[in-house]
């Protein structure tokens, strides 16, 4: 290594995505984008950098995670921390040119100076879908349907979207008599599954809630256990009307949740993919209505997505309330779960579909002609760069790279007007036998399409 050469390394919490990983990432992003556009959402991108004051004061204690610095023009700037605040800025800036309800999706990296762990990075992609400018429960229900269709198309089977409402949690706090400490109830309740009943009560007491109030809150929350199908969600809502009779915010929350849940079958969301869960709180404090969270039942991991209604945040750059509901897909974790649980069947490791071997220099022109025909037919094709390196070496390269199909044309085939299609499996299989067929040279494109199952 020459003197002074800089060590090749990535910054803490930052990653490279090599081609095999990119194939999966692009597959996931492409699948979700397709679902969003089917529902009429439009793409949006915003800059990495924002004025620091645009971002400051929006994230509470977590503001310490904000990347901030002074740029070359002495401006105080910050790196995008999420996609929600930039959305609010865009709405404020273009309020007169956007068509409302404004439906946008945004898939871009965000940056947080957090301490990294597995599934936790300083640069990671967020994938947000939001509907800005309507209070309709149809918009809330559509978010749940986006989760259903998105995860369905990715091949997920064992997952559920948990539903709740911030208004119900507020009502539970009032009902329990937690008074000023109502807020600290949320976070404790959210951990019920993790720390158990006594753990939750302990956290509430630590947060200044009385024992009696904690018990009353827990008793209400436990009513959402044992759900079998949608009728139990609706029964639970009906049962809560009595204790919340004198709590207007509770009744409002029940009405909204009921309207949303009743719409789900009409959106085509099957019963088993959602559930009303009174323990769901969500960490962010800007939610004002419905909240959702997608949990995997295959793998123990944090949520695969979450969202909800936040009617006050998006209008903060516009000087008025703009009702908004949104859903976020946890791209990095979705990818982790797909890899770990092998969801959706095997994916290729490369975007190359066909490898054209070159038998020798004399056959090069013919190989390039085949390559050109395949490319013109929309097939990702690469050709060997060393005509005289031999079939062995060329096929080994194709196998190592993960290309599933090779084309071989030697003098014998050429004389008969044929070529060979050789399928290439994953290496390491001792019992694998070569699988190759001969096709007519003038039918090569059609034959390759059949092999690749392309239309």
Nearest-Å Rg of the Cα atoms of the chain is: 28
Which span sits near RNA by CB under 7 A: 24-32, 37-45, 251-259, 428-436? 428-436
209 binds RNA per the rule CB under 7 A: no
Q: How far is residue 183 from each of residues 113, 173, 204, 351, measured CA to CA in Å? A: 27, 8, 10, 50
Q: Is 429 in the site for RNA (CB under 7 A)?
A: yes
Task: Check residue 443 for interaction with RNA (CB under 7 A).
Answer: no
Q: What is the DSSP letter of 439?
A: E
Task: For residue 56, give Cα distances in angstroms to 59, 185, 279, 283.
Answer: 7, 26, 30, 18
Within 8 A by CB and 6+ apart from 351, the residues are: 19, 23, 380
Tokens 């090749």 label which residue?
Answer: 8
Give me 323's structure tokens.
């009702």
Those residues whose C-beta lies under 8 Å from the C-beta of residue 46, and which sit 6 or more positions away, are 80, 83, 86, 87, 89, 90, 106, 108
* Per-residue interface string for the shown chain with RNA, residues 378-397, x marking contact by CB under 7 A: ------------xxxx-xxx
Which residues are CB-contacts of 174 (< 8 A; sequence separation ≥ 6)?
Answer: 182, 247, 249, 250
Say whether residue 453 binds RNA (CB under 7 A). no
Closer to RNA at the Cβ: 271 or 412?
412
Q: In the bound complex, what is the minimum distance in angstroms from residue 314's beta carbon to RNA?
A: 16
Distances (CA, A) of 119 to 15, 45, 209: 12, 24, 34
Instruction: Pick one of 109, 243, 387, 410: the residue that binds RNA (CB under 7 A).
Output: 410
How far does CA 384 lie from the centroid of its chain? 37
| Residues in contact with RNA, shown as a per-residue x/- string from 128 to 167 under the rule CB under 7 A | ----------------------------------------
Q: Which of 102, 105, 121, 159 binds RNA (CB under 7 A)?
A: 121
Looking at the Cβ atoms of 209 and 304, the one nearer to RNA is: 304
Query: 359, 367, 374, 381: which one contacts RNA (CB under 7 A)?
Result: 359
**What string marks each residue from 267 to 296 as x (binds RNA by CB under 7 A) or -?**
---------------xxx------------
Q: Which of 10, 97, 198, 242 binds RNA (CB under 7 A)?
A: 10
Q: Residue-wise over 126-141: b if at least 16 C-beta within 10 A, else e?
A: bbbbbbbbbbbbbbbb
The reply to whether 305 sits near RNA by the rule CB under 7 A is yes
Rounded Cα–Cα distance for residues 240 and 220 (Å): 8
Residues in contact with RNA, shown as a per-residue x/- string from 56 to 95 under the rule CB under 7 A? ------x-x-----------------x-------------
Considering the rule CB under 7 A, would residue 364 count as an interface residue with RNA?
Answer: no
Please identify, among the stretches 146-154, 251-259, 264-272, 432-440, the one whose residues bind RNA according to the rule CB under 7 A. Answer: 432-440
Helix axes 137-154, 248-263, angle to 10 degrees: 50
Asked if 196 is part of the footprint of RNA (rule: CB under 7 A), the reply reads no
What string marks each residue from 336 to 355 as x (binds RNA by CB under 7 A) or -? --------------------
By C-beta, is 205 or 234 nearer to RNA?
205
Q: How many residues bind RNA (CB under 7 A)?
A: 67
Gap between the Cα atoms of 88 and 315, Å rounded: 7
Nearest to 36 by CA among 115, 155, 142: 142
Using CB under 7 A, list all residues that contact RNA. Answer: 1, 7, 9-14, 62, 64, 82, 112, 114-122, 124, 126, 187, 282-284, 302-306, 328, 330, 332-333, 359, 390-393, 395-397, 399-400, 408-413, 420, 422-430, 432-436
């Amino acid at each position: 290594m020459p003197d002074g050469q800089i060590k090749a390394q990535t910054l803490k919490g930052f990653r490279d995505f090599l081609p095999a990983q990119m194939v999966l990432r692009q597959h996931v992003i492409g699948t979700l984008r397709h679902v969003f556009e089917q529902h009429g959402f439009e793409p949006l991108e915003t800059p990495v950098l924002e004025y620091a004051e645009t971002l400051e004061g929006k994230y509470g204690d977590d503001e310490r995670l904000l990347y901030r610095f002074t740029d070359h023009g002495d401006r105080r700037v910050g790196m995008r921390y999420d996609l929600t605040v930039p959305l609010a800025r865009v709405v404020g800036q273009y309020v007169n040119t956007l068509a409302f309800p404004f439906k946008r999706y945004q898939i871009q990296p965000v940056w947080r100076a957090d301490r990294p762990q597995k599934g936790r990075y300083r640069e990671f992609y967020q994938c947000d879908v939001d509907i800005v400018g309507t209070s309709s429960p149809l918009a809330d229900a559509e978010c749940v349907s986006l989760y259903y269709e998105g995860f369905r198309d990715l091949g997920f089977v064992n997952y559920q979207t948990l539903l709740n409402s911030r208004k119900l949690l507020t009502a539970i706090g009032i009902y329990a008599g937690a008074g000023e400490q109502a807020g600290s109830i949320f976070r404790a309740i959210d951990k019920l599954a993790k720390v158990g009943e006594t753990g939750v009560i302990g956290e509430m007491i630590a947060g200044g809630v009385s024992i009696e109030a904690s018990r009353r809150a827990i008793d209400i929350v436990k009513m959402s256990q044992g759900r079998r199908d949608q009728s139990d969600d609706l029964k639970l809502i009906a049962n809560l009307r009595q204790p919340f009779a004198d709590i207007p915010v509770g009744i409002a929350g029940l009405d909204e949740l009921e309207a949303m849940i009743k719409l789900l079958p009409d959106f085509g969301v099957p019963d088993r993919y959602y559930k009303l869960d009174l323990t769901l709180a969500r960490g962010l404090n800007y939610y004002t209505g419905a909240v959702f969270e997608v949990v995997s039942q295959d793998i123990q991991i944090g949520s695969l997505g979450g969202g909800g209604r936040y009617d006050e945040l998006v209008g903060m750059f516009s000087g008025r309330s703009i009702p908004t509901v949104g859903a976020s897909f946890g791209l990095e974790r979705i990818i982790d779960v797909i890899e770990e649980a092998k969801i959706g069947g095997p994916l290729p490791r490369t975007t190359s579909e066909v490898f054209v071997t070159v038998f020798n220099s004399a056959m090069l022109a013919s190989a390039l002609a085949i390559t050109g025909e395949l490319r013109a037919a929309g097939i990702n094709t690469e050709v060997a760069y060393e005509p005289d390196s031999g079939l062995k070496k060329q096929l080994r390269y194709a196998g190592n790279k993960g290309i599933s199909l090779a084309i071989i044309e030697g003098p014998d085939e050429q004389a008969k007007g044929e070529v060979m299609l050789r399928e290439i499996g994953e290496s390491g299989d001792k019992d694998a036998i070569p699988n190759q067929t001969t096709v007519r040279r003038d039918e090569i494109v059609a034959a390759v399409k059949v092999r690749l199952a392309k239309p």
